[in-house]
Amino acid sequence: MTNLPLRHSAEVAAAKAAGRPIVALESTIITHGMPYPQNLEVARQVEDDLRAAGVTPATIAVMDGTLHIGLEAHQLEALAQAKGVAKLSRADIAACMATGGTGATTVSATMIAAHLAGISVFATGGIGGVHRGAESSFDVSADLLELAQTPVTVVAAGAKAILDVAKTLEVLETQGVPVITVGQDSFPAFWSAESVFKSPLRMDDPVGIAAAHQMRVDLGLPGGQLVANPIPHTDEIPATELAPIIATAQADAEKHGIKGKAVTPYLLQRIYELTQGRSLTANIALVRNNARLAGAIAQALIANARIAGK
């Protein structure tokens, strides 16, 4: 692995050397989630939130064939303005790197990169899941299988409510992925704090979540954990308000014949319009909220290891 084109930012390299807590961050939210310059502002905000809490951010991306674990300020700025950047998952990260390409990492590829770099905790907005209609399309996100095989704890506000959440929870159970909700009994619904689905597990304390992560490692289980962190109630769009909006967006998608990979971006744009931009405000709030919790888990992992004398 000596030839692997992987580079740490100065900040991440220093944190690793000193044994300080690090949280990985994905980059598709930067390249595909918001327009410039808002994407850059939010990315910087999330990184600064972590730094303020004593945690080092490691934003992950492939640039010109190199896998970056943490981006320098100018790299973050360049990525935020880049056009036509690929979205990388387990299936295509190696080909992108081998051909010297540039790509933003989804949950799947960010987990792979974090694990390679020895980073155990990763904050994102929401994970991919089982798409509505998957019983006939077989469209299931690679994120779910990544959680089953890569030992990274992923903090997310659930899965986007435009997915089939019931089936997403079933696949996670089949794949043996711990789904741990924080602070409530129901699995959160991204823009809304609550859903009608009971969470398989509930743990309200970052120290316990860190202990469960370490126990999986000690048991030799290869996969990670999904920590479902509900959006704060002050920032949410309540599910009762959002449900008819999602239904409208889906009816519009059908009416306009939107199909396949075009559906998700279309729905997100329609929901943005129909909520007068509140969906984006909520999204930013939940990402910051997830980074905060991820930072606390990363700190607890180190504290727990110190207590255990490791």
Closest separation in Å from C-beta 168 to a copy of itself = 9
- What are 60's strand-pairing partners? 69
**Of 26, 47, 146, 194, catalytic:** 26
Over the window 123 to 142, marking each residue x when it contacts Mn ion by CB under 5 A and - when it does not, the resulting string is ----------------x---
CB 261, min distance to Mn ion, A: 7
Distance of CA 107 to the CA centre of its chain: 5
β-partners of residue 198 are 186
Draw the binding track, 139-168, toward Mn ion (x: CB under 5 A; -: no contact): x-----------------------------
Specify the residue, 35 or 118, whose C-beta has the smaller distance to a copy of itself.
Answer: 118
> At 61, phi and psi to the nearest 5?
-160, 160
Identify the bridge partners of residue 158 per DSSP, sorted by sequence position: 189
Q: Is 41 an active-site residue?
A: no
112 to each of 59, 93, 115, 146, how far by Cα in Å? Answer: 13, 9, 5, 8
Measured from the CB atom, the residue of 7 and 44 that comes closer to a copy of itself is 7
User: Contact residues for a copy of itself (CB under 8 A)?
Assistant: 1, 3-4, 89-95, 97-99, 108, 112, 116, 130, 134-142, 144-146, 166-167, 170-180, 200-201, 203, 208, 211-212, 214-216, 218-221, 308, 310
Determine whether 255 is an active site residue.
no
* Distance between CA atoms of residues 190 and 68, nearest Å: 28
Pick between residue 89 and residue 275 the one whose CB is nearest to a copy of itself. 89
Q: Which residues contact 153 (CB under 8 A, 6 or more apart)?
A: 120, 121, 122, 209, 210, 213, 224, 225, 227, 294, 297
Instruction: Give the distance, in angstroms, between the CA of residue 18 and the centroid of all CA atoms in the same chain.
Output: 26
| CB of 173 vs Mn ion, minimal distance in Å | 5
Chain centroid to CA 120: 13
Among a copy of itself, Mn ion, none, the one that 167 touches (CB under a kind-dependent 5 to 8 A) is: a copy of itself
Residue type, 138: F
Peptide bond into 37 cis (omega under 30): yes
The response to whether 85 counts as a known ligand-binding position is no
How many CB atoms neighbour CB 259 within 10 A? 11
Q: Strand (E) positions, the chain? A: 6-8, 22-25, 56-63, 66-69, 86-88, 103-105, 121-123, 153-156, 179-181, 201-202, 225-228
Nearest one of 16, 3, 29, 308 to 157, comparing CA atoms? 29
We find the least distance from the C-beta atom of residue 285 to a copy of itself, in angstroms, to be 27
- State in angstroms the smallest separation of the CB of 283 from a copy of itself: 24
- The answer on whether 143 is annotated among ligand-binding residues is yes
Residues that contact Mn ion, how many (by CB under 5 A): 1
141 is in an annotated binding site: yes
Q: Is 12 annotated as a binding residue?
A: no
CB atoms within 10 A of CB 61: 30
How far apart are alpha carbons 32 and 270 in whole angstroms?
16
Q: Is 142 annotated as a binding residue?
A: yes
Q: Smaller CB distance to Mn ion: residue 109 or 210?
A: 109
Q: Is 107 annotated as a binding residue?
A: yes
- Minimum Å gap between C-beta 125 and Mn ion is 17
Between residues 52 and 217, which has the closer beta carbon with respect to a copy of itself? 217
Q: Does an H or E element contain 292, and which?
A: helix 278-307
Closer residue to a copy of itself in complex, CB, 52/91: 91
> Which residue ranges make up the annotated binding site for Mn(2+)?
139
Active site residues: 26, 160
> Which residue ranges make up the annotated binding site?
87, 107, 139, 141-143
Residue ranges in contact with Mn ion by CB under 5 A: 139
